[in-house]
Amino acid sequence: MIDIISNIKGRIGEFLTTYTRSLPNCHYADIRLEINDTRWASAEDGKPKAAGRDEGGSFGIRVIGGGAKKAPGYYGRIFGLKDIDKLKELIKEGLNHAHARALANSKNKERLSVALEGFGKTLWDTQLSSVEIHRDTVPAIYQIAPGTISPQEILRLSEEASKRIKGLSGIQFNDITVYTQSIGELFISTEGALIDQYFAYTQGNVYVVASGKEGQQELYEYVGDQRGWEAVSEGVNVQGMNLLDFSMRVAKDALALADAKPFRSTEKEAVVVTDPYFNTLLSHEVIGHPTEADRILKYETAYAGRSWFFRNFNENFIGKQVASPLITTYSDPSLPGYGHYRYDHEGTKGKRVIHIDRGILKEFMNSRQTAALLGAEPNGSYKATDASLVPLIRMSTTVFAQGNTDPRKIIGDVSDGYYLWGMHTPSISESRENFTISAIKTYRIHRGELKELYRGGGVSADSMSFFMSVDAVGNDFKIYPIANCGKGQPMQTKRLGNGGPTLRGRARVVGGG
């Protein structure tokens, strides 16, 4: 079904070029169009709950127009497959709205550039940094196409996983939700870009509440990949487990934690060793987000926050040491997983962006507009979660680079400290200068060995002091999926990749209140 895109791309491209010529003061326009087909099911406590198939499309339009101070205007719409035949009319209506908004925006900008006196000087004439124009088709990666799997087949797997968990003593509640999805995306611009890309995603969510000696414990984890049905049926994912094995592992962990004592916060900093699964959330929150150029340029002040890396063009950490020389971090859409793509949502080819090079802050993820503002080369990081929504600067796959130390030695060299495994919940300060991230499991390390298991432990630290304290980086690099990163207004919940190897540093380890 998503192949419809290959049939309509030529027509839409011609229409965009022709119609925008008739719009006065329209300097640039692009269309992002998407068609998706999602099949899903859920089971709860061994009982079937729901199943379904959703299919539809959406498109989003950007126009940059106006007079002396060009400005953007946008429009987004969700459509049904029946609308395919009248897509040109819908797009025309959208172009008219986006164009009217761009012109009204430009007019206000011009007026206030004068009326606001000093404040008017930064109201700029909107520019997009130039990029190579591509015409390309990128196929999806899968062995078992999502479109071949029925909702009832998904339900059978969900139900079986849920039944198996229910059979474990001490499990109070469980919920399994599974989906498999095909997406086709089209990007067309008045500069001549015409790119269609195809994606497959499959994911299983596992939620368990267990009861044990120390009370109740809830656990939510997911397994998935940018793959077909094989991601959950055959275990073709970073966890290396199919859904049945993965959900059983989550349930057994919940039971073990329900028997574990709650962690009590340390008064002072301690040695902490964090595993790749925990560092997935750490790299996401404290490396990825503060290196997004829209945060750097303050666009997110009212929402997701700014970045401690960059106060302004005179006061910032670019070229300065922000981490131990053992730490290198980067974002790279060519890596496999949820963050993989060839082109972003304004047709820029994605490339590796080095954020921290052996402790020194280097580059940010950007879009064509933010690249123009920062005087940087566009690196293909402008993405929307649905074509009807305006793209934002987003992580592709943001990671800590691999080190060269065996993780067993990293733990073995610790006299007294803590080992934190698995990502649980983050709470990050506004500019990402401080973080608290809880782990699924916290172990005490004594004389180089893992000892007691605790629940409810986490790391709390100022970002820079923690990164400066890192004295060992493992050779066990892994990329995990992040399924639900929220950003933007309205909120866009995105899938992407994060990860890294085992790290050792110093921080407060915090428990329950």
Partner 1 sequence: MIPIEILKKIVSDGLDFIKAQKDISDAEIFASSLSHLLSRVNYTSSIPCNGVEEPKSTLSYGVGVQAVFKEGNKKRMGFGSQIGDISIDGIKSAVEKARLSAVEDPDFYGLPVPSANSGDTLLNSELSKVSPELQRLMDISDEQLVDLGWKALEGALMTFKEHKLTESIIVGGDISIVQERMAIASTTGIAAWDEAANASASLTAMIESDNAKGSGWDIGMRLSDFAPENAGKSAAMSAIHSRQGRRVPSGKYRLILGPQAIADLLCHVVLPSLTLSVVDAASSTFLKKYGQRIADKRLTIFDHGAMPDLPMSRRYTCEGLATGRTDLIKEGVLTGYLSNDYYRNKVLKDPSSKDKIGAEPAAIERAFAPRNGFRPGESMIRNFMGRPSIAPTNVIVEGSEITPLDDLMKMIGEGIYIGRIWYTYPINGLLAGDFTCTVIGDSYIIEDGRMAAPLKPNSIRIADNIHNLLNQVIGITGDRKPALLWGASEVIYSPEIAVQDVSLYCIGE
Q: Give residues 29-48 in contact with partner 1 (rule: CB under 8 A).
A: 41, 44, 47-48
Tokens of 294: 């829209």
Kindly indicate which of the ranges 183-191, 225-233, 321-329, 425-433 contains the residues binding partner 1, using the contact rule CB under 8 A: 425-433
Q: How many CB atoms lie within 10 A of CB 169?
A: 8
- 151 lies in the binding site for partner 1 (CB under 8 A): yes
In the list 76, 333, 347, 505, the residue contacting partner 1 (rule: CB under 8 A) is: 76
Would you count residue 297 as binding partner 1 (CB under 8 A)? Answer: yes
Tokens for 398, please give them.
């943001």
Does 490 contact partner 1 by CB under 8 A?
yes
Q: In Å, how far from its chain's centre is CA 116?
A: 38
Closer residue to partner 1 (CB): 77 or 409:
77
Q: Is 109 helix (H, G, I), strand (E, B) or coil?
A: helix
Among 23, 195, 200, 209, binds partner 1 (CB under 8 A): 209
81 CB-side CA count, 13 A:
11
CA distances from 216 to 208, 469, 510, 511 (A): 10, 35, 19, 16
Instruction: Select 334 or 465, whichever has its Cβ closest to partner 1.
Output: 465
Beta strands in 213-322 (DSSP E): 215-225, 261-262, 270-274
- Check binding of 203 to partner 1 (CB under 8 A): no
428 scored as a contact of partner 1 (CB under 8 A): yes
If binding means CB under 8 A, how many residues of this protein chain bind partner 1?
96
**489 lies in the site for partner 1, by CB under 8 A:** yes
Sign of CA dihedral 93, 99, 101, 103: negative
Matching residue, tokens 């990502």: 423
Measured from the CB atom, is 154 or 194 closer to partner 1?
154
Q: Give, as ranges, the residues between 309 and 368 that touch partner 1 (CB under 8 A).
A: 311-313
Task: Decide if 76 contacts 37 (C-beta within 8 A).
Answer: no
> Closest distance between partner 1 and the C-beta of residue 19, in Å?
17
Residues contacting 508, CB < 8 A, separation 6+:
265, 266, 268, 269, 270, 459, 460, 461
CA-based end-to-end distance of the chain: 51
162 belongs to the binding site for partner 1 (CB under 8 A): no
If one asks whether residue 459 binds partner 1 (CB under 8 A), the answer comes out as no
24 vs 415 by CB, closer to partner 1: 24
Q: Is 119 in the site for partner 1 (CB under 8 A)?
A: yes
Longest dimension (CA), the chain: 75
Beta strand segments in 311-448, E: 329-331, 353-357, 360-361, 382-383, 392-393, 397-400, 416-428, 434-446
- Positions 385 through 424 that interact with partner 1 (CB under 8 A): 388-390, 424
Which of 20, 105, 181, 397 contacts partner 1 by CB under 8 A? 105
Residue 392: Cβ within 10 Å count: 24
Among 68, 114, 213, 302, binds partner 1 (CB under 8 A): 302
d(CA 236, CA 203): 11
Q: Rule CB under 8 A: is residue 383 a binding residue for partner 1?
A: no
* Contact flag: residue 150 with partner 1 (CB under 8 A): yes
For residue 505, give the nearest of 264, 265, 268, 274 by alpha carbon. Answer: 274
Does residue 51 bind partner 1 (CB under 8 A)?
Answer: yes
Binding flag, residue 375, partner 1 (CB under 8 A): no
148 binds partner 1 (CB under 8 A): no
Out of 247, 438, 498, 502, which residue is the one contacting partner 1 (CB under 8 A)? Answer: 438
- Based on the shown chain and the rule CB under 8 A, indicate whether residue 298 belongs to the binding site for partner 1: yes
Position 116 contacts partner 1 (CB under 8 A): yes
Least Cβ distance, residue 218 to partner 1 (angstroms): 5
List 17, 25, 216, 321, residue binding partner 1 (CB under 8 A)? 216
Residue from 212, 359, 426, 448 binding partner 1 (CB under 8 A): 426
By the 8 A CB rule, do 374 and 293 touch? yes
Which uninterrupted H or E stretch holds 165? Answer: helix 151-166
The reply to whether 65 sits near partner 1 by the rule CB under 8 A is no
Question: Based on CB atoms, which residue is closest to partner 1, 103 or 472?
Answer: 103
The amino acid at 11: R
Under the criterion CB under 8 A, does residue 167 sit at the interface with partner 1?
A: no
Residue from the set 4, 141, 168, 172 that interacts with partner 1 by CB under 8 A:
172
